[in-house]
Chain A
Amino acid sequence: MGFIRNRKSLTGLIILGFFVLIAIIGPWIAPYDPDALGDATLAPPSPEHWLGTTQVGQDILSQLLVGTRGVLVVGFVSGAIATFLAVIVGVTAGYVGGLTDEILSALANIFLVIPALPLIIIITSQLPSAGEFTTAAVISITAWAWGSRIMRAQTLSLRNRDFIQASRANGESLWRIVTVEILPNLTAIIASSFVGTVTFAILSEITLAFIGVASISDWNWGTILFWAQSNQALARGAWWWFVPAGLCIALVGMALALINFGIDEYVSPRLRTTAARSRDLKRLGITPRVGFTPVARGHLAPPKPRRRPKPHEPVPAIDTSFAMIEEEANR
């Protein structure tokens, strides 16, 4: 599959896969109980405590390992719920149209202008116990609106395409038109919307923990940052307390962004061929430049194609095997 071969999405998937693994096995491989107090207080990294300790002697590596699960569970659960809501609301609004569309669009617009974080803070602080799933639910009901607008727009455009009209004229049922004819055309948008929502949910959850709204008895990366902040780790030079957690957040965010780039390139043949082409060009010793189009000159043998396209695979819109290439001004 082209998506896996894409270097950006591959990198993203590897990083994300690493964190998923940690999320699964983290609590078992953690060397200490993350809550257990120790004798070494605010100790820098050492063979006993690889990432040092807090001011009450808790092992930071164990906190990170245990906390990964909460971060990813909340991220993926709220990503899944929000994407599901977005697809249901967006596709219904786009396909049915009329008054239904007006009502659902108004609903999405209301959720869009509600400032998400304050609302999450209010709801979570009112609930008796703000556990992981409560947080996930609250994040997902504020995060679906944007995706639903994209789904609606795309469905609206698909609905009037000839192939949907042809399916209707052939007597296809409404349910099948939506699930078999329209949804496969939305796969990439749904995937990218899901990945975007996961990013948003992870950042929201960490923010909630960091400002101390979510319950601080559950460990996640935000909780670590919350304790580091409240004990003035920065002022005391205890970099090991907040840098690893921050790095983990940045890495997961980067992995998700890379996956999204990969999806974009996979979906848009234009971006896909541009990326593939720049690799081919670099192999021929030419630096690709924006705004210039390489032009094929047919008097030299083309480089050997890396692989033959399989019969079922969509053929890229532009042939990437070149003859002699020269750069020429495009505009």
Chain B
Amino acid sequence: MNDVVLEARGLTKHYTSGHFRKKRIVRAVDGVDITLRRGEVVALVGESGSGKSTIARLLSQLIPRTAGDILLDGESITVGYGHAFRAYTKRVQMIFQDPFASLNPVHPVRHTLNRSVSIHSPKLSKKEHDAAVLTLLERVHLRPTERYVDKYPHELSGGQRQRASIARALGASPSVLLADEPISMLDVSIRLGVLNLLRELRDELRIAILYITHDIASARYFADRTMVMYAGRVVETGDSEIVTQHPAHPYTNLLIASAPDPDAEHPEGRAKGEPPSLAKTPTGCSFNPRCPFASELCRSEAPPLLELPLPVSVAPSSSVGSVTDAAAPVPRQAACWLYDTTGRADAPSAPEFVADALGVAR
């Protein structure tokens, strides 16, 4: 598939905290690979502090990366300031989490959109420029546009503000949209509207969208592929439907089990504990202190992302409205020693769980 727009390889961000002897390295993001394709939504799921937002800021190049590579249209790209950065933002735009903070309170919506249009299409005439601004509002369904264009942010509701900031991002006509928890600050009743708007942008403008969320159910609803993060690393990736319905990694399983379920038979859940401090990650698999299946191997050696067979009971790429090529199923990977096929003696073993994940009839 040569639809790949933005790709990250081994993306790493380390922060140092403290000085001299007390110096510690915080591994916010550690060796993450992401591929964003035209017209496809990739969800990045994980709990707070797992490095999701850092990835969005790294991909938008708002903060420099420690290691790894970012490829735009297959070419490695690093931009700092000035023209290169501006050219990069024309391709890659970002939507922020908090719509109450992401619009300047002293300027009306018109100013925000004017700037976006003048930055990215500086050669328009005055008339074309104004038309472009109204088209942006139309695009995000803020109609009638004349009513919204002169409003100040405090005169708009959360959903309207988020739409305005999506309109600002669209002013660049980007190929990639990095949406950092775009609905988590919104009222439950208007979340779906914003998600449907993003889906529309994916289908009509064929924008590649990275959808960052902690809500795995919305990932299933909205995303074609889902990546699950834990403590700065990707622990599982695959088709959204398969990841959410047949979680292969014990952490994904915990994440799904933690959703409140009125019919739950085992309300106590299977794994407990807190995510580790990113400055002092445990040796081996960072999930091992909380994992019910952890063995000696898990405590000593970090598992690589292992290729998994697709569950037999699930048809590949079943996500509704997906435009990805159904002939090439999304690869499914999990960073867990449970799926090690080399037959190491100290590998963990949980046949029931594995059988469930792989959809094998027992």
Q: Which residues of A contact B (CB under 8 A)?
A: 161-174, 176, 180-181, 184-185, 312, 314-315
Contacts and interface: CB of A to CB of B under 8 A. Distances in A.
B104 A167 contact: yes
Nearest to A161: B101
Contact of A184 (B85, B96, B106): B106
B90 A171 contact: yes
Given A162-B98, A174-B81, A168 B104 contact: no
A161 B116 CA distance: 18
Interface stretch (B41-49, B167-175, B295-303): B167-175
Interface in B147-193: 150, 152, 154-155, 165, 168-169, 171-172
Interface string B100-136: 0111111100000001100110000000000000000
A181 B105 CA distance: 9
Nearest to B165: A166
Contact of B62 (A169, A172, A176, A185): A169
Contacts of B98: 162
B237 interface: no
A153 B238 CA distance: 46
A315 B230 CA distance: 44
A162 B102 contact: yes
Q: Is the interface of A mostly helix, strand, loop or mixed?
A: helix
Contacts of A314: 152, 154
Contacts of B93: 169-170
Contacts of B116: 170
Contacts of B97: 162
B89 interface: yes
26 contacts: A161-B101, A162-B96, A162-B97, A162-B102, A164-B104, A166-B102, A166-B165, A167-B104, A167-B115, A169-B60, A169-B62, A169-B93, A170-B93, A170-B172, A171-B85, A171-B86, A171-B88, A171-B90, A171-B119, A172-B115, A172-B119, A184-B104, A185-B105, A312-B150, A312-B152, A314-B154
B94 interface: yes
Contacts of B172: 170-171
A128 to B, nearest CB: 47
A181 B115 CA distance: 11
Q: Which 4 A-B pairs have the closest CB atoms?
A: A171-B89, A162-B101, A162-B102, A171-B86
Nearest to A163: B104
A198 B302 CA distance: 65
Contacts of B150: 312
B62 A170 contact: no
Contacts of B81: 174
A310 to B, nearest CB: 12
A321 B102 CA distance: 31
A167 B155 CA distance: 20
B104 A181 contact: yes
Which of B60, B85, B106, B120 has its CB near the most chain A CB atoms (within 10 A)? Answer: B106
A315 B105 CA distance: 13
Contact of B101 (A163, A172, A184): A163
A170 B102 contact: no
Nearest to A187: B106
A165 B154 contact: no
A142 to B, nearest CB: 32
Interface string B73-94: 0000000010001101110011
Given A162-B97, A166-B168, 12 more contacts: A162-B98, A162-B102, A163-B103, A166-B96, A169-B93, A170-B93, A170-B116, A171-B88, A174-B81, A181-B107, A184-B106, A185-B105
A168 B60 CA distance: 10
Contacts of B105: 163, 185
A130 to B, nearest CB: 42
A164 to B, nearest CB: 8
Contacts of A184: 104, 106-107
A166 B94 contact: yes
A171 B85 CA distance: 7
Nearest to A158: B104
Contacts of A169: 60, 62, 89, 93-94
A107 B97 CA distance: 38
A184 to B, nearest CB: 4
Contacts of A176: 115
A165 B107 CA distance: 15
Nearest to B169: A170
A106 to B, nearest CB: 18
A184 B112 CA distance: 14
A167 B111 CA distance: 12
A309 to B, nearest CB: 11
A172 B90 CA distance: 11
A170 B119 contact: yes
Nearest to A170: B116
A161 B98 CA distance: 10
A172 B150 CA distance: 21
Nearest to B106: A184
B152 A171 contact: no
A312 B109 CA distance: 12
Nearest to B151: A311
Contact of A170 (B107, B152, B155, B171): B171
Nearest to B85: A171
Nearest to B178: A169
Contacts of B103: 163, 166
A176 B114 CA distance: 13
